[in-house]
Structure 1
Amino acid sequence: MNMKKEWFSTSNIFSAVLIIFAAAMVISPQVKGWTIQNLMKIGLFQPRIDKIQNDNKAAEPLPNILFKDDSGDIVDLTSLKGKVVFINFWATWCPPCIAEMPSINALHDRFGRNENVVFLMVDVDGNFEKSNNFMKQHQYNLNVVSSVSAIPTFFMQGTIPTTVILDKDGGIVFRQEGAADYSNPKLVNMITEMIR
């Protein structure tokens, strides 16, 4: 009887719950993504707005990068000059990508109808069926593309998620590796200023 009391103590139950949660975070990208999303809600994983400067722009003109949508239509990055371009490199199996997706969708809901803003959600796996199913399942209004040409390292160095924002001149004004909360008011204000 005494052994039962010790086995079902509050401390043991709490430890068991923590172990199960830690195992779920290792096994399930959705659980890890959910955890990161909730940490975003308390102020963690904010984009590094303070590092946005005009001197962060690419020194040379942007290379001609081509993207393809699930219909096979080609999007030429240089044809988007004159628009603010939000590019996110992501994958369905990536927990930080899953975590930041609601905030990207909220940003898209805010600016997606503006003809001066373009969102390119680049699925690094190029699996349109899987990525489009992910978007439908979560009711995101984000269109998926894949890269047809090589991605320069000043855009993405292999880390996902990576987000790049280009100004109307095609200069990189923002680059973030890792998850971030893109519903951040400072980022929203930055895009608002850029489209004026």
Structure 2
Amino acid sequence: MREMMTKKNIINAVFIALFLIILFVPSAKAFLMQGLMEIGLFKPRTEPIAAGTPPADLSGIKFEDKSGKTVDLGSLKGKVIFINFWATWCPPCLAEMPSINKLYEQYKSDKDVVFIMVDADSNLAKAQKYMDSRSYGMPVYSVASNIPENLFKGALPTTIVFDKQGRISYNESGAANYASSKFIEFIEQLKNLKI
């Protein structure tokens, strides 16, 4: 029995246990990813919009909140629109949520920036419970129409940002730190574009 309780075996057992926790517990995986975001990994790639890029036709793309209020993206022309597709069971989604909330807190009173957090499972009660448990104030929606595949291919998390003219300025899948100074500068550039 003493041979099994050597220092090396104990250390190996601890590493295996940590690996299994990270592998099978979404919140543990999200916590690890948040730490990696803090040290500079998972930066969103922001590039300027190519000159002459036509605006997308956003009318008819709809999302519904828990009270049944529907938002049509076409009605938001003239605003910067930040859309994030996520789910409560998705570790990368949970990992980026604090940074999105920080960005939201910075712009929540800005009438030129709109946030739409889309629960991919359309379980608004569960999604809102998650937001409330973390004291996040971001508005939660479910999909209320067809979403064009060029916007959302089904990967979680997916974040899309439209400029004031309705042009896709950012469309990436995977976790990112949206509270970074570079991304905030990107949002400011989009806000200052003339329509």
Q: What is the distance in 2 between the residues matched to 1:133 and 1:47? A: 27
Q: Secondary structure at the match of 2:50?
A: helix
Q: What is the distance in 2 between the residues matched to 1:18 and 1:139? A: 33
Q: Which residue of 2 aligns with 1:163?
A: 159
Matched residue type, 1:168: K
What is the Cα deviation at residue 141 of structure 1? Answer: 1.1
What is the Cα deviation at residue 4 of structure 1? Answer: 2.2
Aligned pairs for 1:96-107 within 5 A: 96-107=92-103
Q: Which residue of 1 aligns with 2:22?
A: 25
Q: What is the distance in 1 between the residues matched to 2:67 and 2:58? A: 25
Q: Judge conservation of contact 1:62–1:171 (CA < 8 Å) in 2.
A: no
What is the Cα deviation at residue 129 of structure 1? Answer: 0.8
What is the Cα deviation at residue 61 of structure 1? Answer: 2.6
Q: Which residue of 2 aligns with 1:16?
A: 13
Segments of 5+ residues of structure 2 without an aligned counterpart are none
Q: How many residues align?
A: 191
What is the Cα deviation at residue 60 of structure 1? Answer: 4.4
Matched residue type, 1:42: I
Matched residue type, 2:118: V
Name which of 40, 44, 49 aligns with 1:54: 49
Which shows bigger deviation, 17-26 or 99-108? Answer: 17-26
Matched residue type, 1:22: F
Name the structure with the higher helix share. 1
Offset from partner CA, 1:11-51 (integer Å, 9 cap, x none): 322221211111112221111111111111111111112xx
Aligned pairs for 1:86-125 within 5 A: 86-125=82-121
| TM-score of the aligned structures, taking structure 2 as reference length | 0.92
Segments of 5+ residues of structure 1 without an aligned counterpart are none
| RMSD of aligned residue pairs (Cα, Å) | 1.6
Q: What is the distance in 2 between the residues matched to 1:172 and 1:145? A: 20
Matching of residue 176 in structure 1 with residue 172 in structure 2: yes
Offset from partner CA, 1:150-194 (integer Å, 9 cap, x none): 111111111000000000001000111100000111110011122
Q: Secondary structure at the match of 1:106?
A: helix
What is the Cα deviation at residue 59 of structure 1? Answer: 6.0
| TM-score of the aligned structures, taking structure 1 as reference length | 0.92
Offset from partner CA, 1:117-155 (integer Å, 9 cap, x none): 000000011101100000000111111001111111111
Q: What is the distance in 1 between the residues matched to 2:166 and 2:85? A: 18
Q: What is the distance in 1 between the residues matched to 2:122 and 2:13? A: 39
Which shows bigger deviation, 58-67 or 90-99? Answer: 58-67
